[in-house]
Each structure stands twice: as C-alpha cells, then as structure tokens.
Amino acid sequence: MITERFTHREIEKAAALLREGQIVGMPTETVYGLGGNALDPEAVKRIFAAKGRPADNPLIVHIADFKDWAPLVKEIPPLAKALAERFWPGPLTIILPKSHRIPKETSGGLDTVGVRMPAHPMAQDLIRAAGIPIAAPSANRSGSPSPTCARHVMQDLDGKIPGVLDGGFCLCGIESTVVALDDAKTVRVLRPGFVTPKQLSEVAETVIVDPAVLAELAPDQAAPSPGMKYKHYAPNAAVILVKGSSDAVLSYIASQYQEGDVALVFDRDLPAYAEQNIKAVSYGDSDEARGAQIFSQLRSLDQMGFQRILIQAPRTDGVGLAVYNRLIRAAGYDVRDTDE
C-alpha cells in the first residue's frame, strides 16, 4: 500500500476513504490521530491492526458538531453538558455510558465511550466532510512516542495506511485530558492534558485526579482506564526522569552522565549543562512548550542514536501534570528524586 499525503485542498479525498471504511492519519490540536468510521467494526479493526494496539484499549470518538454527541451515548448529564460547553471544541474527552450505536470494537469491550470535539479546523472539516463520527487513537505504532506532525505518522505507518492529511504541527503536542463523571458533581481525571484540573474545577464542584495518573499501577490493581496498563510513549533509548530543583537535577545528571547519553532540560538551564560538557537539548521554558515539544524531541533524540535520555522533570501542576504523566510512562517509571 502506498500512503498518500493530502493537503487541505484534498480533504474530500480523505473523507471519501473514511466513508469507504478505510483509515486515514489526521491532524488534531493534541496529536495526530488515526481516524476511521467509529460506527463500523471493520474500519475500527483496521485501526487496531495498523497500530498494533491491544484490542481492549478503547478509542476516542471525534465529532465536529454538538448535535452528533447525543446519538453516541445513553444520556448527557448536566455536568457533561457544562464541560462540553466550556471546553469544546478543545482537548477534553468526556467518558459516558455508550449507546448501542457504538460497536464493542470501538469501546474496547467497555460499556462506555469517550467523545471529543477537536479544535483543529482541518479535523473539523474532515469529520464534517465524512459525515460520520471518527474513532481516532494517536497515529503511532502502539507504545512509541505520539506523532505531532505528518512526518511522524509516516515514520510509523507508511505503507500501512492509505493516507495522512497534513495539517502542520500540533499546538498542544500531547493527548487530550480524559475525564469520567463519578457523580453529578464530581469529575475524575483519568489522563491529564492541556485542560487542567484547575480549569475543570471552574465547572465541576469536585475534581479528583485519579491516583494512577501520577504513579504506577500495582500488579493486582484494576486500571480505571485501560490505557493506564500499557507501555506508552517510549523511544528506543532508555529514559530516566530526574526530579528536583534545577541545581540538584544538574548535579545528579552530571554524576550519572556517560558516553551515549543526552540530557533533555529546560531552556534556561542549558548553559549550566554546556559548562559541564554535558550534551543537552531543551524542550522549552514553560509547561505548554514542553507539552508541545516532548514527543517530537524524543523521536529526534532516538534518530540521533542516543542510548539514554536523562530528562529534567517538570513540576506537576497545570499542564506540567500532563507532561509529567507522559514522562513517567516513557521512562517505564524510572524516576529519580533528588530531594529524597
């Protein structure tokens, strides 16, 4: 199969593929998705096969208009409606009991479905042109860093999918915030993203960050969200995440640094690493910048052939929580705390 690269002028071609039950790489403001008809079990199976994704890991369903949400779920409680009104279109996925229209293949066998309305104009145009809800997990091989440009999609899926719609670089760079509703007033964050717990608490009386967001699941612990179980976001290089003050992180990395290593640090700390002859690159100077760059940097450092990537950990507030959540998984939970 030859993978075609579509521009915004060719959205109709990509939409036609989706209507035929084919799968297409598509830009969103979070990461690139691998889209297929959410209502067609055969299309959904193609997504799982191309990614090598475990069948029990559910797909998020993408819509472009509010009216397209109700047919996918049993009902829309007032809290869910308020969240959607505040954060859609945008990087928030809301999980609710699914309607019979959602096949079990799409929901990974669960009786719930996560729905989101992406803010990327090309994603909206594609969904509207296709005229169907689009199931789309990240468009990478399962387990590898998520794709934040069309080139990353080609790196992982060239020859395995008929096309990718090129919409430039993703503004967020990390996947959507995923929430479930515990009750009429309580939102539970299952995966953090650019919509932060603080922002959610402007709409919900109580916001709980699920404990599995910040720590590894115990071997006998059930995952509140299937994706929590799996290895994720990992480059080929070994990743070590180092927590603490800038000075403590620098001296820890200096003590561990060996041939074949590279450090991924905050912009403002780069000169201090250069002074100690440590190869280092920056992933930005704000949590938002680090979110936008992290996956792309991990892919680049892999291509340069580094064996170990020592990463300065962000703080866990605001969007930093989302970056930290991805990094502990990329590191296979190898987190060194210099304050301990």
* Residues at the site binding Mg ion, with contacts judged by CB under 5 A: 138
Q: Which stretch binds ligand AMP (CB under 6 A): 207-215, 220-228, 264-272, 275-283?
A: 220-228
For 159, the 3-state DSSP assignment is coil
Q: Which stretch binds ligand AMP (CB under 6 A): 5-13, 104-112, 193-201, 277-285?
A: 104-112
Among 37, 225, 282, 316, interactor with ligand AMP by CB under 6 A: 225
Among 22, 124, 138, 282, interactor with ligand AMP by CB under 6 A: 138
β-pair partners for 180: 95, 188
The rounded distance, in Å, linking the Cα atoms of 158 and 164 is: 9
With the CA atoms of 207, 211, 215 and 219 taken in that order, what torsion angle do they form, in degrees rounded to the nearest 10? -150
The rounded distance, in Å, linking the Cα atoms of 209 and 190 is: 7
Query: Which one-letter DSSP state was computed for residue 67?
Result: G
β-pair partners for 246: none
Question: Does residue 190 belong to the site contacting ligand AMP (CB under 6 A)?
Answer: yes
Question: Does residue 40 belong to the site contacting ligand AMP (CB under 6 A)?
Answer: no
Which pair of tokens denotes residue 181?
A: 């509703």
Interaction residues for ligand AMP, span 283-302 (CB under 6 A) = none
Whether residue 271 has a cis bond before it, omega within 30° of 0: no
Measured between alpha carbons, how far is residue 163 from residues 29, 59, 108, 117, 134 in Å? Answer: 19, 19, 24, 22, 15
Among 103, 118, 167, 227, interactor with ligand AMP by CB under 6 A: 227
Q: Which is nearer to ligand AMP, 14 or 190 (CB)?
A: 190
Among 21, 54, 143, 226, interactor with ligand AMP by CB under 6 A: 226
Q: Which stretch binds ligand AMP (CB under 6 A): 65-73, 158-166, 224-232, 263-271?
A: 224-232
Interaction residues for ligand AMP, span 150-179 (CB under 6 A) = 175, 178
Measured between alpha carbons, how far is residue 199 from residues 62, 93, 213, 225, 339 in Å? Answer: 22, 14, 17, 22, 29
Report the partner that residue 278 touches, choosing among Mg ion, ligand AMP, none (CB closer than 5 to 8 A by kind). none
Binding positions for ligand AMP, rule: CB under 6 A = 57-60, 95, 107, 110, 112-114, 137-138, 175, 178, 190-191, 225-227
